[in-house]
Homo-oligomer: A and B are copies of this chain.
Amino acid sequence: MSRESEQGEFAFIDWLRQRTPTANRVRLGPGDDTAVLAWTPGPDCLVTTDMLLEGSCFVLEGGSVQVPGVAPASARRVGRKAMAVNLSDIAAMAGVPLAAVVSVGLPRRQGRVLAEELYLGLREMADRFNTAIVGGDTNSWDGPLVISVTIVGEPGPGGVIRRSGARPGDWLLVTGPLGGSILGKHLDFIPRIREALELAALVPLQAMIDLSDGLAADVGNLCQESCVGAVLWADAIPIHPQVGQLGDGRSPLEHALGDGEDFELVFAVAPEVGQSLLQQQPIAGITLAAIGECLGQPGLWLEQDGERRPLPPLGWVHAFA
């Protein structure tokens, strides 16, 4: 997708939301990382879906669509990614995934072997998080490969963490280094399910989102949902070492702000909570970084060398759009 169509998507989602009626059983409908359904008398049910399209979200080894400069991935890696991007949405709610359904459109000439390899990749990732694949729909067609995964889950012990709870003064923290995911992380990342649950058990999380469209775009979305603004501290944003390999003339910071598909989590906490998390670094395997602060006025800013300048929330650059 181009930036233009990305904007088009947001505009379309706004359009959808205006047309979405309230419903007794729906606690949270379109516009967050997952939907939340009241599940009387049991706990709430989380539902999320994501579709991956060949040539747009991945390039398939032996597939019919090649994209210059993008390394093709095996069907197994594509399957892993298709499951992982959905798990990442559950992580962004600090939720516990329970079950997935998968629908696929398979290029006719590849068929069965492709389907099996995809499934093995899907299962590999699902098994890692005790997520059962409970159904699906398998089709063949003359088009490229398409996979849609839906996951249902339930809230973790800390309850559902939305995008909309950040308050002015809250700090924004991130779970890992950003940028350059096109070189491999967009396929091989591990969704932050465990980290989100540990965090939610430790401290009150005000708001959370997973980074799929890029830091600036996704923080912009969290802020908009929370009716706050934010300033990001340029020097504090952790940058993934692989960014250095891109050599495309854009700075590492630009990549960290703009690249999509990092699938780290950004969350808002009270400043004293943020300070404590930074000092204690209580989550094994990751280093939390404080990258900014929420403001009382709308707008997104970047603070660098003592100056604040506006940061357009359109940081999203698809891996290979």
Contacts and interface: CB of A to CB of B under 8 A. Distances in A.
Interface of A: 1, 5, 8-9, 11-13, 15-16, 19-21, 23, 25-26, 28-30, 32, 34-35, 37, 39-43, 45, 47-51, 53-57, 65, 98-99, 101-105, 108, 111-112, 115-116, 119, 123, 130, 132-144, 146, 148, 150, 152
A40 B133 CA distance: 19
Given A35-B99, A40-B42, A139 B30 contact: no
Nearest to A51: B103
Question: What copy number does this chain have within its complex?
Answer: 2
A144 B30 CA distance: 25
Contacts of A42: 39-43
A160 to B, nearest CB: 13
11 contacts: A5-B108, A8-B112, A12-B138, A21-B132, A29-B135, A35-B99, A37-B98, A40-B42, A51-B103, A55-B141, A55-B142
A45 B45 CA distance: 9
A134 B103 contact: no
A103 B50 contact: yes
A34 B135 CA distance: 7
B142 A47 contact: no
A129 to B, nearest CB: 12
Contacts of A134: 26, 28-30, 35, 37, 47
A49 B148 contact: yes
Contact of A26 (B11, B34, B132): B132
Given A26-B134, A134-B29, A141 B99 contact: no
Contacts of A135: 29-30, 32, 34-35, 47-49
